[in-house]
Amino acid sequence: MTATEVEIVEVGPRDGLQNIAKFIPTEVKIDLIRRIADAGFTRMELGSFVSPKAIPQMQDMEAVMAGLPPMPTVAGMTLVPNAKGARRAVAAGVKNLIFVLSVSEAHNQSNVRRSTEASIADFKAMLEEIDPLNELTIRVGLATCFHCPFDGVTDEGQVMAMLEKIIPLREGMDYAISDTTGMATPAHVKSLTKRCIDTFGGSARFGFHGHDTAGFGIANVLAAMDSGIRSFDTSVAGLGGCPFAPGATGNIPSEDVVYLFQRLGVTTGIDLEKLLDAGTMILAESGSPMASHARAIPRARLFADLLGIPPSQAVAA
């Protein structure tokens, strides 16, 4: 992947929807996933195999998976909190699993009710049970890498210490360095992501997962890119928020990141107009507030800027 090419990982169907109180019908979730795939995303979160008591929005995951059309160009990932969730995911045909670990002890207890050491042991046992032949693609979401809602700013040394324990468990995994609460600053993002790449870049792949609570989301994306990150998690229309991180708001909007990169001449492979349409649909269905700056720009002006022509010459979609 060159400096003029990035990967945008769409997390809306999982991280975007999980915090919405209104239950989104199965067919709407399937339609959202289909629209996102049609917009050109090659990797996305489809949902999570978690307890319906913990995350009621994800209670229909088996039905979602069964109803999806073939998507040969898309790596569809699902989050699994433990071996039970992993068994459900594999039984449903999932080949790409996400396992979340919190760097912060307090957040890990809030999220999965166990210590970080216990979660690492669970992760190792899950790998040995579910995928002894190393046939699945595994992603590790490292939560609270920059800030914890209970403990405040996370020391970089804590993140590095956790990576030292996890990376040897299996080759070929990738890691989402996550600003779970959306409180990270660009300087912190650049420093930590560069340190991760410099220290472990030969044996691990890294992406940046941010939220936009403090309004630093786009600036943090650029800071991560400046350090060498080329994979970024975003959510359609800026939907999202962690139910176990008080005060955390939505993810960085996919539309804003795609629009930014296109203005900078960076290739994303994403059809912005189809992405905007997907966001319009899910906002109407969910009743959620719109968090994307790009969506607030009239489409004629939006695409005129991309084409380098006056808005009067652009045809509104």
Residues forming the active site: 242
Residue 200 and residue 167 in contact, taking contact as beta carbons nearer than 8 Å: yes
CB atoms within 10 A of CB 284: 10
Both tokens assigned to 253: 């909007």
Radius of gyration of the CA atoms of the chain, in A: 19
Instruction: Round to whole Å and give the CA distance between 45 and 167.
Output: 22
* SS3 state of residue 272: helix
Q: Which residues pair with 241 in a beta bridge?
A: none
Task: Please state the separation of Cα 147 from the chain's center in Å.
Answer: 17
Both tokens assigned to 134: 């190393």
DSSP string for residues in 129-158: HH-TT--SEEEEEEETSSEETTTEEPPHHH
Task: Give residues with Cβ within 8 angstroms of 64, minimum separation 6.
Answer: 26, 29, 30, 33, 46, 47
Residue 182 and residue 145 in contact, taking contact as beta carbons nearer than 8 Å: no
Instruction: Round to whole Å and give the CA distance between 80 and 98.
Output: 6
